[in-house]
Amino acid sequence: MSQREKIRIGHSPDSDDAFMFYALAKGLIPTDPYEIVHVIEDIETLNQRALAAELEVTAISVHAYAYVAKDYVFMPCGASIGDQYGPLVVSKTPIDTLAGKRIAIPGKMTTAYLTLSLFQPNFEAETRPFDKILDAVQQDEVDAGLIIHEGQLTYAREGLHKVIDLGEWWYEETGLPLPLGANVIRRNLGTPKIREITALLKQSIQYSLEHRERGLAYAMTYARDMETALADKFVGMYVNDYTLDYGEKGRAGVRELLHRGTIAGIIPHGVEADFVSLE
């Protein structure tokens, strides 16, 4: 029997990522001739690893693609896209403006940071682990926090106030959904392998969508003490029609985000958004 080729897939421990990768993680779909190895890290760590082109397949922030495009290409499936919703800025007491404020952010390569910088270029960023940002706001260590992941659903129960929903703002500005996270695959694998591995990921997402309860039960093991109803809502926000394929609107959102980031000088050079074609 020939040895299977090891393909490392980096993804975050978030319930939406876990839901997407359920079938691959549990061996529910055949993966020959590949052996899939899951590498689970937070998104900013995955962004950093992508700079070194370490993993064959990885989740990254869409913002990070600007820095890794020479090595990676977007897979057309597996994206986390907010349609008129997205990362939030929250504060302990209501505030009118973010100009000049100290804001805790989950990393400078996150799409949330890029979008906030497009909305308000004048603020002082303080990088924190994403799961410590609500605490930093509560303890008055910062004026506001940029919230990604499940914090978007839990901030209110902690008595915090929404300053802005950046996905809502982006839609008002552009009429487009906000692409936050993406899966990318290394270009040097070559077109045949790229297409085969992309098809496997698409199958895994399709499997979870068709076996939602089982996929959600698996995702709950990564849900950081969230109750099932909340995890279900979060998965529903970010695993949707765009996740199986960006479609024209999703792709336009990616291009517009990278373009605006370049025009604003946040991204240092123009970048083409290349997508794997399965046809």
**Phi and psi torsions of 185, nearest 5°:** -130, 145
Question: Can you read off the two tokens belonging to residue 13?
Answer: 């421990």
Give me Rg for the CA atoms of the chain: 18
- Identify whether 149 is a catalytic site residue: yes
Question: Can you read off the two tokens belonging to residue 116?
Answer: 């906030």
Please identify which residue in the block is written with the tokens 């077109």: 191
Output the CA–CA distances (angstroms, integers) from residue 119 to 98, 135, 148, 203, in the order listed: 10, 24, 16, 37
Output the CA–CA distances (angstroms, integers) from residue 227 to 104, 205, 215, in the order listed: 26, 22, 15
H and E: helices and strands count for the chain:
12, 11
How far is it, in rounded angstroms, from Cα 206 to Cα 133?
A: 33
> Per the residue annotation, which of 11, 38, 63, 149 is the catalytic one?
149
How far is it, in rounded angstroms, from Cα 15 to Cα 226?
A: 10
Would you name the residues annotated as active-site residues? 149
